[in-house]
Homo-oligomer: A and B are copies of this chain.
Amino acid sequence: MKITNLTKVKKTRMEMEGAKNTWKQVPLSRNDGSPNFSFRVFTIEPDGHTPYHSHPFEHLNYVIEGRGALVMEAGETRPVVKGDFVLVLPEEKHQYRNADSSKPLVIICAVPKDYE
């Protein structure tokens, strides 16, 4: 059993190419003995975004707070808000952009443990 709070989890800047003003936390992962998957949290500051990319594994996302735009295939976008759940399938292009000029967009991003 592990219990932690987001406020206690180390925050590191996302340095991946294509990311801007985005921070990563990993509250639950294989380092805690998780057998199958990990929970990361991304905090995307105003004017920030994650990379526009795809990869061979899925994301299961939950929007903790804020307002964002999810960029999909061919640049099509959909708004996302607190309380939204998103399933990004393997190889689907995606990017999260903060759509608010003053508040962060905070999302859970769950992935198979081999990727985090």
Instruction: State the A residues within 8 Å of B (CB).
Output: 1-7, 9, 27-28, 32-37, 39, 57-58, 60, 62, 64, 70, 72, 78, 80-81, 83-90, 92, 94, 108, 110, 112
Total copies of the chain? 2
**15 A–B contact pairs at CB < 8 A?**
A1-B72, A2-B85, A3-B78, A3-B85, A4-B84, A5-B84, A6-B84, A27-B85, A28-B85, A32-B87, A33-B89, A34-B60, A37-B60, A39-B62, A62-B108
In contact, B5 and A87 (Cβ under 8 angstroms) = no
In contact, B34 and A87 (Cβ under 8 angstroms) = yes
In contact, B1 and A89 (Cβ under 8 angstroms) = yes
User: In terms of DSSP, what is the predominant structure of the interface of chain A?
Assistant: strand
Contact flag A62-B62 (CB < 8 Å), given A34-B87, A36-B36: yes
User: In the assembly, what is the distance between CA of A57 and CA of B87, in Å?
Assistant: 22
Across-interface contacts of A9 in B (CB, < 8 A): 85
Closest CB in chain B relative to A48 CB, distance in Å: 20
